[in-house]
Amino acid sequence: MGSGLLRGGFKLKGFGAEISAPGLRKNACVAQALQSPDAPESLSFFSAGCELSRVGCRFVIGTRLVRQGVSSVARSAWGGGFVGRTSLDDGGGGEVEEEEEEAEWTVQDSDALYRLHGWGAPYFAINVAGHLCVRPSGGTEGRDEVDMMAVIDSLTAQQLQLPVILRFPDILHHRMRELQGCFSSAIAKFGYQRHFEGVFPIKCNPECHLLDQFVEFGFGLEVGSKPELLIALSKLSSRDGALLICNGYKDSVYVENVVLATRLGIRAVIVLEQIEELEEVVACSQRLGIRPIIGVRAKLSTKHNGHWGETSGDKAKFGLTVTQIVSVVYRLRQEGMLDCLKLLHFHIGSQISSILVIKEAMREASHTYCELARMGAPMGYIDVGGGLGIDYDGSKGHSSASVNYNMQNYANDVVAALMDACLLKGVAEPVIVSESGRALASHSSVLVFDVLHAPHHTKNPASAFLDNVSEAEDLHLDSFRNDYASNPQSQDAGEYLLSTFYQVCATLELGNIQEAFNDAKQLRQEASSLFRLGCLSLEQRAQADVLYEKVCQQVLGFGSRLPKEFKLSFPTLYTCNLSVFRSAPDSWAISQIFPVMPLHRLNEKPTVQAILADLTCDSDGKIDRFIGPSGEMSRALALHSLQEAKPYHLGLFLGGVYQEMLGSAHNLFGGVNIVYLRALGDGDFAIDFVLPGQTAGEVLGGTHHSHADLLKELVTQSSSSVAAGKLSQKEASLLIANYQRCLDSYTYFSMPSDFLYHKSNSESTLVHTTA
């Protein structure tokens, strides 16, 4: 099957119905039609399957069908003992197979295990090839589906190295349309008199091309610092009437630029966050003779309990207290500038997980707004800040990483609170501005990286050594024990420990698994104690370690037959080609959970419980908090065992905001490659552009090591070593060439240059070429 997709028909033995897949689209992948006049979605299709399963056959069907509006029928069919199967090897003329003992692992199982539907819908799904795919325009039929593995193949073919951030601007567009749509329907539903406008907070992700997406779509920008203001002034200057919300600490240059920007046609609102800023604004406006657009940021007393709760409440770092707000009104009135006060802003923190907090904050803010209008300010805008959260773990509100509301609930509550207050106080309704960042940009970026190493992947050279010893020792086991029974004192402690360990290993079976595993843990600990006391040789201690590893392997070998109550207390460490500090800093800094899952082999049961270690030499450089299968936080992630010479790709999702900028160069790992992708339909995609990650030289420059100076020093030193006969000319050239190449290359682990990705049968395999 060239493309790895199901094509052609296949017969179901013993039933006579033919399921064929005529004229399948390039990326469509299911048995779609029944030979009968019935539509493929028909019940008879599924009851046929049920019948077959009753006579002990397995009915082979792709997932896509299940997704195409027949899920309930399909579910009843699954429930009827019918096995979903999505592997593609049946394509040529698959036959109904004999029922096996254990139901085969399906992509639905993977979907449930990683809670993909919970956090990923409608943008991420699994195709029948068991690959993760992206649906950038959020359509459920997947007409725009892009197979992530196809993307990775294409990037590797172009020599682009992992880790890489894949960015889908279409997801951003979908999110913006969704937010606007939710506000439009709330506005229509309540008969609200004004409209909604979105501004994107630059701090969420200031990357140039990403901001362009927002500006081109018609969103405004929110800035919180002078450099951010520089970006916004330039990007918005060509957009007549664009909205610019200016927060943050403001010195006189900042204020002056914002005031001048109004002359460019930008609706630049200077939001007073500190009372001291008021005099600066008044003075600047008088100096330039320009009337500014002024806003005030309110410090609400509504508090939110999440991580960013400190942004809210009386002790918050930002905003004006009610006394200060009232004094701003008096002072502006005194200066004859009250007509400049047009906006009330608040932001009580990011990722608000409870809708109740939003309702309460909205009530407080709405009344503050109305009071300002009643005191004579023209007003006209309310800016409800950010805080709109997303469901990181797909638990729909059952954890702090989640939210108990959706975008529509949010919009409804914002509009409803404003309606209520405005009606009550007889004030005209304001334009609603929101500064959502997280909710708009998180989904659009996926970090793709690969696993470099896992302990049991490559055969431990020590295991071979153990295998030899093991046989020899086995022979002596009985004599050991006899000797020991007759004279314990004469027995070498190390030998005794090892013989007991061998015994545990040899007699391990499903029935005594917990006991044997506990023994192994204890024996390993005792081995290290004995070593500390000088009673065990280094070789003996190594043997104990290898035996322990062997027990673990045996245990893992039982796979799904392991008793439910059996808990492996150690996850396997998978070393990954990334830096947590660079690419997922919140996972380290604030224990944020990001969805992580494999991008392929999702039709295979994962058998390893893993935690992810990164490349940095820092014990914090790991990811060990994941979404558990039933929504709880889990300390390990179910992954597949690595296959010899084949890459294993993982994706980290929902990291489109904050991570890229908070990420730091710990251990001097640099910014990663970013690729902008667009779906073209029918499985095709376009790489719009690639933003190369940092080279080592660039990262070093950030710590004031000059590329040229470093190289010069090395060249000088090698020359004198060559002159002194310590280094050959050839070695010196190699050293300099390598050094230079490293300075110019990516900071992450690179596969040896003679390893190339080789595409065969839609499976990427790593092949060694000797050319």
Catalytic positions are 617
Among 86, 205, 213, 247, binds ligand PLP (CB under 6 A): 247
Sequence-ordered list of residues with C-beta below 8 angstroms from that of 422, at least 6 positions apart, any chain: 366, 370, 428, 429, 430
* Closest distance of CB 203 from ligand PLP, Å: 6
- Residues 152-211 contacting ligand PLP, CB under 6 A: 201, 203-204
Nearer to ligand PLP, 273 or 450 (CB): 273
Which residues from 387-416 bind ligand PLP, rule CB under 6 A?
387-388
Residue 304 binding ligand PLP, by CB under 6 A: no
Kindly tell me which residue out of 137, 436, 587, 718 binds ligand PLP, with binding defined by CB under 6 A: 436
401 dihedral zone (left: phi>0; alpha: psi -120 to 50; beta)? alpha
Question: In the chain, how many H helices and how many E strands?
Answer: 25, 30
N residues, the chain: 771
The span of 379-387, 445-453, 667-675, 730-738 binding ligand PLP (CB under 6 A) equals: 379-387
Q: What is the CA angle 420-421-423, rounded to 5? A: 65
Given the complex with ligand PLP, which of 439 and 536 has the nearer CB atom? 439
Q: Which is nearer to ligand PLP, 108 or 180 (CB)?
A: 180
Question: How many Cβ atoms sit within 10 Å of the Cβ of residue 463?
Answer: 15
Number of residues counted as binding ligand PLP (CB under 6 A): 19
Six token digits for residue 741: 């190449």
Q: Choose among 284, 270, 276, 266: nearest CA to 340.
A: 270
Q: Please list every residue from 346 through 365 that binds ligand PLP, using CB under 6 A.
A: 347, 350-351
Q: Which of residues 448-467 bind ligand PLP (CB under 6 A)?
A: none
The four Cα atoms 75, 80, 86, 87 give a dihedral, to 10 degrees, of 170
- One residue of 198, 386, 595, 598 binding ligand PLP per CB under 6 A: 386
Q: For residues 36 and 43, is the Cβ–Cβ distance under 8 A?
A: no
Amino acid at residue number 767:
V
Task: Give the interface segment with ligand PLP, choosing from 140-148, 189-197, 380-388, 740-748 (CB under 6 A).
Answer: 380-388
Which of 437, 494, 670, 697 is close enough to bind ligand PLP by CB under 6 A? 437
In DSSP terms, which residues pair with 633 in a beta bridge?
627
Output the CA angle 13-16-19, nearest 5 degrees.
85
111/383 with CB nearer ligand PLP: 383
Q: In this structure, are residues 291 and 264 in contact, taking their beta carbons and an 8 Å threshold?
A: no
Q: Which is nearer to ligand PLP, 19 or 403 (CB)?
A: 403
Q: Which is nearer to ligand PLP, 167 or 438 (CB)?
A: 438
Closest chain position to ligand PLP (CB) = 386
Pattern of binders to ligand PLP over 328-347, x per CB under 6 A? -------------------x
Nearer to ligand PLP, 410 or 685 (CB): 410
Q: How far is the CB of 442 from ligand PLP (least distance, A)?
A: 8
Piece of the chain touching ligand PLP by CB under 6 A; list 181-189, 381-389, 616-624, 763-771: 381-389
**Within 619-678, which residues bind ligand PLP (CB under 6 A)?**
657
As given in the structure block, the two tokens for residue 394 are: 């797909």
Select the residue interacting with ligand PLP from 4, 220, 385, 697 (CB under 6 A).
385
User: Measured from the CB atom, is 350 or 603 closer to ligand PLP?
Assistant: 350
Buried b (16+ CB within 10 A) or exposed e, 620-637: ebbbbbbbbeebeebebb
DSSP, collapsed to helix, strand or coil, labels residue 292 as coil
Q: Which residue blocks in 23-70 are alpha helix, DSSP H? A: 43-54, 63-67
CB of 279 to ligand PLP, least distance (A): 22
Write the DSSP assignment of 518-587 as a string of letters: HHHHHHHHHHHHHHHTT-S-HHHHHHHHHHHHHHHHHHHHTGGGS-TT------EEEEESS-HHHH-HHH
Please identify, among the stretches 53-61, 70-78, 370-378, 385-393, the one whose residues bind ligand PLP according to the rule CB under 6 A: 385-393
For the CB of residue 362, give the shortest distance to ligand PLP in the complex, in Å. Answer: 15
**CA dist., res. 649 & res. 149, Å (int):** 9
CB of 204 to ligand PLP, least distance (A): 5
Contact of 12 with 90, CB cutoff 8 Å = no
List interacting residues with ligand PLP (CB under 6 A). Answer: 201, 203-204, 222, 224, 247, 347, 350-351, 385-388, 435-439, 657
